[in-house]
Amino acid sequence: MTNDKLTLPTTIADYTRSLMGRNISPHLITAYTTDLRQFISWIAETDISVIRPDQVTRLHISEYLSFLASKGLTGVTRARKLASIREFFKYLTENGALPSSPAAGVTMPRKEKKSRVVSRPDDYNRLLSLAGSNARDFSILQLFLQTGIRVSELVNLTLSDIDFTAYTIKIHGKGQKERIIDLDKKATQALKNYLASRPQILDRHVFLNYKGEGISDRGVKKLIEKYRKQAGIEKKISHIIRVKGKQFVEFHEPGKRRDRRGSPTKRGSAVAAASAV
């Protein structure tokens, strides 16, 4: 393919297809492509002469990051968008479409350090008490509080992943990796109570929606948000953390993401953290 045919939209479409073939999660693919489409939309509005990847310069990328900063986007968000742009141009250079990447020399925006706000025990107790009359919701919240698994991991749990004899659950993580997590008595009992009332249907997902199908990521996030509001907790729940057997719910402002630390990669992990929203 000649450079004349390598328009920005077509190369992004090619790049997206390559991501799908690398076993990358759909959520990450969507994030990459969204960042790239926003970038080329900005270019189309600011420099109509740029229609091909080889016409994008380092200055374009730097000015785009400055534009995002002027709109109030955080350093964390701008760094993520630059990372998406870098990966895209890296793909083009590795496949011979470009001799070099215009993003290679662009400085990564500085990420802000935010202080962590940890709730008191009565915050998560309120969440649990509000869900107490709903066995499914109560079980979901207990699992998050005890294990720190990701939302995507929770919705993919199947009945065969639960071992009540060993008091464990099998988690299917990113990249088709599996790990075993111990369950404490509260989480085990919550699961048993829920499964006793769970409809006996063909769908093998542990947690079902009102249609009798496996609950979705969005469904779980809406559930958590509902109880957060009912509990009168002003800040959105971002991570659920368990440290040395003591459970805390971490909050920070909507739209602010922070790196995951201490994910439960083996049985008996002392620290478990996962994004809940």
| pLDDT tens, residue by residue, 147-198 | 888 888 999 999 999 999 999 999 987 777 889 999 999 999 999 999 999 9
Distance, CA of 220 to CA of 224 (rounded, Å): 6
pLDDT category at 4 given cuts 50, 70, 90 is low
The verdict on residue 241 lying in a domain is yes
Q: Is there a domain that residue 167 lies in?
A: yes
Does one domain contain both 152 and 189?
yes
On whether both 127 and 254 belong to a single domain, the answer is yes
Confidence category of residue 270, pLDDT binned at 50, 70, 90: very low
- At residue 263 the predicted structure's pLDDT band, cuts being 50, 70 and 90, is very low
Asked if the structure places residue 176 within a domain, the reply is: yes
- The mean-pLDDT minimum among 145-154, 166-175, 214-223, 262-271 falls in 262-271
Question: Does the residue 100 lie in any domain?
Answer: no
Residue 3 confidence class, pLDDT cut points 50, 70, 90: low
Q: How many domains does the chain have?
A: 2
CATH number, domain with residue 29: 1.10.150.130
The reply to whether 52 and 180 lie within a common domain is no
Residue 14 inside a domain? The answer is yes
Instruction: Please tell me whether residues 178 and 262 are part of one structural domain.
Output: yes
Q: How high does pLDDT run on average in the chain?
A: 81
Give 238-272 as a DSSP string: EEEEEETTEEEEEE--TT------S---STT-SEE
Nearest of 105, 215, 242 to residue 158 by alpha carbon:
215
The answer as to whether 62 is a domain residue is yes
Nearest in space to 62 (alpha carbons), one of 45, 46, 82 = 82
Is 222 within a domain? yes
Q: Are residues 128 and 265 in the same domain?
A: yes
The predicted structure's pLDDT at residue 237: 59
Residues 79 and 187 in one domain: no
Structural domain containing residue 207: 117-275
